[in-house]
Structure 1
Amino acid sequence: MNNSGTRSGGTTSPITSHILDVRLGRPAAGVAVTLERRGADESWQFLGRDATNSDGRASGLFWEGELAPGRYRLTFDTGSYFAEQQVDHFYPLVTIEFQVARADQHYHVPLLLSPFGYSTYRGS
């Protein structure tokens, strides 16, 4: 993988994220992001980890195996991000669960972040 979140040959992770720090009005760089998939036994299985780049993007979350329909979870280490900046905050982790319906689609999950709130949506 290179810094753009693509493998050599141009393939892109089918699950990506982008974090904007609305307090500062710019991308949130250096936020650790973990991706998991819920298994048939209801436990969460680790799939990958990345950190947002200088543009706030996490594009290297999933490379091994095939994307399959099911429930997935992204966990953002927002506490470390704000602590590094010495900013009081309320949410040490932001966890977003979402449903993958079609394995042939791209799933982009942006996070709009502030020290005391956040929102998300399915992007493109």
Structure 2
Amino acid sequence: MYVSLQALDGIYGKPAAGLHARLERSVEGRWSTVANAATVENGTIASFVEGQLAPGLYRVVVDSDLYFSGLGFSAAYAEIVIPFRVRAEPYARQVQVLLTPYSYSLYFGDRA
């Protein structure tokens, strides 16, 4: 399974370019970083890793604090954590997040 991220800045209604995120995997109850990335101009991270993810429990951690402090705002949520499970399936999934300093909305589903 492949996982991508698409982020939209809810203040300005535009892609959230430069938003830092990391993909982590739970290994024996501890979170281990798999990859670090930042969204490009269109607000996306096409894929955190090359190839398929091994089955297991993962999470995407979005650094909303760094993003909003760069815009002169203080974020209520320093990080947005999106946990999900990977099974042995060849599908591509997308995490979509709409974020503002005091709220966020998520979608996790098929990548078109």
**Fold-level similarity (TM above 0.5):** yes
Bigger Rg over Cα: 1
**Which of residues 2, 13, 37 is equivalent to 1:25?**
13
Q: What is the CA–CA distance in structure 2 between the aligned matches of 1:69 and 1:112, rounded to whole Å?
A: 27
Within the alignment, does 1:59 sit opposite 2:46 as a pair? yes
Deviation at 1:72, TM superposition (A): 0.6
Task: Look up the equivalent residue of 1:120 and give its one-letter code.
Answer: L
Q: What is the CA–CA distance in structure 2 between the aligned matches of 1:89 and 1:47, rounded to whole Å?
A: 25
Q: What is the CA–CA distance in structure 2 between the aligned matches of 1:31 and 1:103, rounded to whole Å?
A: 28
Q: How many correspondences in the alignment? A: 110
Task: Look up the equivalent residue of 1:105 and give its one-letter code.
Answer: Y
Q: Which portions of structure 1, spanning 4 or more consecutive aligned residues, are displaced by more than 6 angstroms?
A: none
Q: What is the CA–CA distance in structure 1 between the aligned matches of 2:2 and 2:21, rounded to whole Å?
A: 15
Structure with more strand by fraction = 2
Q: Which residue of 2 aligns with 1:87?
A: 73
Aligned residue for 2:69, secondary structure, equals helix
Aligned residue for 1:87, secondary structure, equals coil
Q: Which residue of 1 aligns with 2:33?
A: 46
Residues 2-55 of structure 1 deviation map (CA, whole Å, 9 limit, x = unaligned)? xxxxxxxxxxx811100001111111010111001112x111121111100010
Report 1 or 2 for greater relative contact order, CA contacts < 8 Å, sequence distance ≥ 6. Answer: 2
Deviation at 1:93, TM superposition (A): 0.9
TM normalised by structure 1 equals 0.81
Residues 46-95 of structure 1 deviation map (CA, whole Å, 9 limit, x = unaligned)? 111110001000124112x6412221111111111100110132111111
Identity over aligned pairs, percent: 33
Q: Unpaired segments of 5 or more residues in structure 2?
A: none
Q: Unpaired segments of 5 or more residues in structure 1?
A: 1-12
Q: What is the CA–CA distance in structure 1 between the aligned matches of 2:84 and 2:47, rounded to whole Å?
A: 18
Q: What is the CA–CA distance in structure 1 between the aligned matches of 2:91 and 2:61, rounded to whole Å?
A: 21
**Which of residues 93, 102, 108 is equivalent to 1:116?**
102
